[in-house]
């Protein structure tokens, strides 16, 4: 037990130091761990390992393949986003007498590689009660256009770069109770550690929330339901939104989510099909609603096939409409936009929304493989590709045309080791 605790603390430290900038469903990863991610992010009804259970449905601890024993997962995701942006502001050329070029051209973000570790465990307390624990990076988003071009020469002459970095780490202890042989309930407490840098310095703070889940299993069919509460983190003194000479706070709230899932295992321990539907309430979450994100439905489907007991082949699909609303027809010098009590210039507001936090990707295809080395040790490998998605806004700057564009695609490779004991 002492060794397990040491591994936990080491993993939490690694996660707290990692630069977790990613975006898939909004600014959330589609799932955690190579098994669930290889299956499109499913897991509400039948997650296949401990870390997926803690992330997807805490009630699943009672029905996992590791039951009635214990399991530990150590996973890592190599995340590779490709973000690009372009701003064409004809007013810059006009106001500078042709000395400045108002078209930045397409520029690539330098924030293009991240390592995201994760750790999970499940162990029995009694015959019907199980304990779980996981530590993982779950949310993040950011770009790095520093030293690329001057995005906003008129309003921020002292800071002519665009750099954003949001990351959220969760540490989640979990309990699951088997009410009957076919029905279980579970709960996880989420202890959140969030950090945010908007070009000045990184600010960090803590939040807390709750995840509740239930699973009903009848023969080859399982159904699951999960609710996650909203979880606020207040980032103090991150950026000077209203240009009054002092940095302002920004509260970001991980939104409430509802997930419903079904799993069918037509051939036991050979073939499994899962599907999830998840509603993420970005439109009511502090910070995200301020920057006009809409709530999002995410649909995922995945399958696992074992041609032999020691080998698992996996594939999946995940789709969620991008939550970032596009705006057209605005004027840079029209009435400012209110962001948590601060007045933000409309042009800066739109540049920040589209260039700074381009949570655009919608369609993901996934695949992976797992191999049982011994009775107690297995390894898993997964791959996710998020297809390129773009957004473009048009408005005016003092009457002159201006356009803001961003596009994003993503690739990730997941690797994990599972130890059963």
Both tokens assigned to 290: 């301020």
Residue 155 — pLDDT band, cuts 50, 70, 90? very low
* Whole-number Cα distances in Å, 300 to 224, 313, 398: 14, 17, 45
Nearest to 180 by CA among 51, 65, 262, 59: 59
* pLDDT at residue 411 greater than cutoff 70: yes
Q: Are strands 129-144 and 114-124 parallel, antiparallel or unpaired?
A: antiparallel
For residue 156, the model assigns a pLDDT of 46
Taking the C-alpha atoms of residue 53 and residue 352, their distance in angstroms, rounded to an integer, is 36
| 300, 280 Cβ separation under 8 angstroms | no
Structural domains of the chain, ranges and CATH numbers in brackets = 2-420 (2.40.160.60)
Nearest to 135 by CA among 107, 169, 110, 168: 169
pTM of the model: 0.91
Least confident stretch, 65-79, 137-151, 167-181, 196-210:
137-151
Cβ atoms within 10 Å, residue 191: 17
* pLDDT at residue 42 greater than cutoff 70: yes
Nearest to 71 by CA among 84, 82, 60: 60
For residue 189, the model assigns a pLDDT of 97
* Whole-number Cα distances in Å, 154 to 144, 160, 368: 20, 10, 49
* pLDDT at residue 391 greater than cutoff 90: yes
- Read out DSSP for 118-175? EEEEEEESSSSEEEEEEEEEEEEEEEE-TTT--S-TTT-TT----EEEEEEEEEEEEE
Ramachandran sector of residue 7 (left: φ over 0; alpha: ψ -120 to 50; beta: rest) = alpha
First-to-last alpha carbon distance for the chain, in angstroms, is 12
Taking the C-alpha atoms of residue 156 and residue 104, their distance in angstroms, rounded to an integer, is 16
Least confident stretch, 152-156, 230-234, 323-327, 351-355:
152-156
Percent of the chain with pLDDT over 90: 71
CA atoms within 13 A on the CB side of 251: 15
What is the radius of gyration, based on Cα positions, of the chain? Answer: 23
* pLDDT at residue 293 greater than cutoff 90: yes
For residue 92, the model assigns a pLDDT of 73
Nearest to 360 by CA among 405, 392, 391, 393: 391
Q: Tell me the per-residue pLDDT of 58-109, one tens digit each, with 9 for 90 and over.
A: 999 888 787 888 999 999 999 999 999 999 888 776 665 555 667 888 999 9
Check residues 23 and 168 and name the one with the higher pLDDT. 168
* pLDDT at residue 275 greater than cutoff 90: yes
How confident is the prediction for the chain on average, in pLDDT?
89
Q: Tell me the per-residue pLDDT of 242-259, one tens digit each, with 9 for 90 and over.
A: 888 889 999 999 999 999
* pLDDT at residue 9 greater than cutoff 60: no
């Amino acid at each position: 037990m002492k060794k397990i605790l040491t591994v936990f603390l080491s993993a939490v430290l690694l996660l707290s130091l990692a630069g977790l900038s990613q975006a898939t469903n909004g600014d959330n990863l589609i799932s955690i761990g190579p098994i669930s991610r290889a299956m499109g992010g499913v897991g509400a009804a039948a997650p296949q390992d401990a870390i997926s259970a803690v992330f997807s449905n805490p009630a699943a601890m009672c029905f996992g393949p590791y039951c009635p024993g214990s399991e530990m997962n150590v996973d890592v995701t190599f995340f590779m986003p490709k973000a690009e942006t372009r701003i064409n502001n004809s007013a810059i050329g006009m106001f500078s007498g042709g000395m400045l070029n108002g078209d930045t051209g397409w520029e690539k973000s330098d924030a293009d590689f991240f390592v995201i570790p994760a750790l999970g465990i499940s162990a029995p307390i009694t015959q019907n009660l199980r304990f779980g624990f996981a530590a993982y990076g779950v949310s993040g988003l950011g770009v790095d256009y520093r030293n690329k071009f001057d995005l906003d020469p008129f309003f921020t002459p002292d800071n002519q770069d665009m750099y954003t970095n949001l990351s959220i780490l969760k540490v989640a202890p979990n309990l699951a109770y088997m009410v009957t042989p076919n029905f279980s309930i579970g709960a996880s407490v989420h202890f959140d550690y969030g950090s945010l840098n908007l070009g000045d310095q990184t600010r960090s703070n803590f939040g807390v929330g709750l995840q509740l889940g239930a699973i009903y299993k009848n023969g080859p069919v399982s159904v699951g339901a999960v609710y996650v509460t909203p979880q606020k983190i207040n980032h103090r003194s991150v950026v000077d939104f209203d240009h009054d000479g002092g940095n302002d706070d920004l509260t970001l709230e991980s939104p409430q989510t509802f997930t419903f899932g079904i799993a069918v295992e037509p051939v036991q321990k050979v073939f499994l099909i899962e599907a999830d539907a998840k509603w993420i309430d970005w439109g009511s979450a502090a910070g995200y609603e301020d920057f006009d994100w809409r709530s999002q439905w995410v649909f995922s489907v995945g399958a696992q096939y074992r041609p032999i007991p020691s080998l698992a082949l996996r594939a999946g699909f995940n789709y969620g409409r991008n939550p970032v609303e596009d705006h057209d027809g605005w004027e840079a010098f029209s009435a400012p936009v209110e962001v948590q009590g601060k007045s933000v210039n409309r042009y800066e507001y739109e540049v920040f929304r589209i260039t700074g936090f381009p949570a655009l990707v919608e369609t993901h295809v996934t695949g992976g493989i797992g191999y049982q080395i011994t009775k107690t040790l297995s390894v898993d490998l997964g791959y996710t590709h998020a297809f390129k998605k773009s957004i473009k806004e048009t408005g005016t700057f003092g009457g002159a045309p201006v356009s803001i564009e961003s596009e994003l695609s993503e690739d990730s490779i997941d690797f994990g080791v599972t130890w059963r004991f």
